[in-house]
Structure 1
Amino acid sequence: METINKESRSSNVENLKGKAAVSKIRDMVDSSSLCFFQTEVSFDENQSARPMSVQKTDDDGTLWFLSAIDSAKNAEINSNPRARLFFQKPSSMEFLELQGKSEISQDKEMIYELWDSLAKNWFPQGKDDPRISVIKFIPQAGHYWDTKHGAGLAGAKMLFGIITGQKVDVGVEGELKV
């Protein structure tokens, strides 16, 4: 596994770069395609995060979404393409935060490739709805937290640590550089 220097402060830190980072991203997204998509800009003084579903993940870690061309999210991206994505895999207590840049297009070929039956809820005219746009998110860095053995075992280890006062290994975390 390709790693960045392990930090001496903790044995549970494993920083990943390149292919190993992309593998971590793909593993998380493949098992939990829902995320919070947060732009760097908000026009209405509210939090600029909203739930989104990843439609596709490329071999290089690029993530693809469908969005309305006239949405606040798209206006925010047009103002500043920097964004963050937040994923959680509840069954194993894994978390992922990604930072990167977003691009918006109305590429019909990509819209057709990403289309699924759920998209009709937002785009009732189907694949040819003139409001559909594609968001391409290109990750550059991030951070992950992984219990390694699932939520149940991590919980039991934490309880053991509380009872005995001993430090227990409940997982691993690290920086990602794509």
Structure 2
Amino acid sequence: MADTHEIKQTMWDRMAQSPFVMVGLEEGGHSEPLTAQLDRDQVDTLFFFIGKDNRLAGGGKAMAQFVSKGHDFFACLAGTVAVDNDFAMIDKLWNKQAEAWFPGGKSDPNLALLRFDIDDAELWESDVSISGRVKMLLGGTIKPSEAGSHARVSTTAA
């Protein structure tokens, strides 16, 4: 079972490998898939390139859900989204994927940089032990110590 520091570090490592997150406003509407832009210098923050007409552009309280590529790590993040068109940050995070969506480049008139400030998170790492896997195959009961790690955190800083 991982400690809280390890599970937070695992979240950032897994998100760097597959940065796809579902994000939605708490005040109604469905979540939508976005590609997180990670900046190691920013604690508890995700960035997303979106269109100015995106339903998240109005900002507000939001939730984000993340599932790792191997389906062995899960995170639910609560926080606030707001457009933050800091050109230095846009320049720092800009990449070929963003360019594919915004043909006008960094100065595309529809480009907005959405900032997600994480207030708290719940994290799960599915790391079932060998004995737990045998029990799953045979229909046995898995003890919490065999199931993996879970943490509720007020910061995702590792």
TM range, normalised to the smaller chain? 0.7 to 0.9
Per the alignment, residue 85 of structure 1 pairs with 64
Q: For 1:35, what is the secondary structure of its paired residue?
A: strand
Paired residues of 2:39 and 2:93 also in contact (CA < 8 A): no
Give structure 2 stretches of 5+ with no counterpart: none
CA distance in 2, matches of 1:110, 1:82: 22
CA distance in 2, matches of 1:68, 1:141: 26
Is 22-31 or 63-72 further displaced after alignment?
Answer: 22-31
CA distance in 1, matches of 2:139, 2:124: 24
Paired residues of 1:111 and 1:127 also in contact (CA < 8 A): yes
CA distance in 1, matches of 2:2, 2:89: 37
Corresponding pairs, count: 152
User: Structure 2 counterpart of 1:55, which letter?
Assistant: Q
Paired residues of 1:64 and 1:134 also in contact (CA < 8 A): yes
Q: TM-score, normalised by structure 1?
A: 0.72
Q: Deviations over 1:92-129 (max 9, x none)?
A: 52111111112212222221111111112321111110
Per the alignment, residue 27 of structure 2 pairs with 41
Per the alignment, residue 32 of structure 2 pairs with 50
Paired residues of 1:102 and 1:136 also in contact (CA < 8 A): yes
Per the alignment, residue 118 of structure 1 pairs with 97
Matched, 1:136 2:119: no
Change (3 A) 1:54 1:164: closer
Give structure 1 stretches of 5+ with no counterpart: 1-11
Per the alignment, residue 9 of structure 2 pairs with 23
Q: Deviations over 1:105-162 (max 9, x none)?
A: 222222111111111232111111021111111111111111236xxx67x8345245
Change (3 A) 1:61 1:24: farther
Shift of 1:33: 0.7
Shift of 1:172: 1.5
Superposition RMSD on alpha carbons, in Å? 2.6
User: Structure 1 counterpart of 2:36, which letter?
Assistant: V
Change (3 A) 1:52 1:164: closer
Per the alignment, residue 175 of structure 1 pairs with 152
Q: For 1:103, what is the secondary structure of its paired residue?
A: strand
Q: TM-score, normalised by structure 2?
A: 0.80
CA distance in 1, matches of 2:118, 2:37: 15
Change (3 A) 1:25 1:95: same
Change (3 A) 1:104 1:62: same
Bigger CA radius of gyration: 1
Change (3 A) 1:67 1:129: same
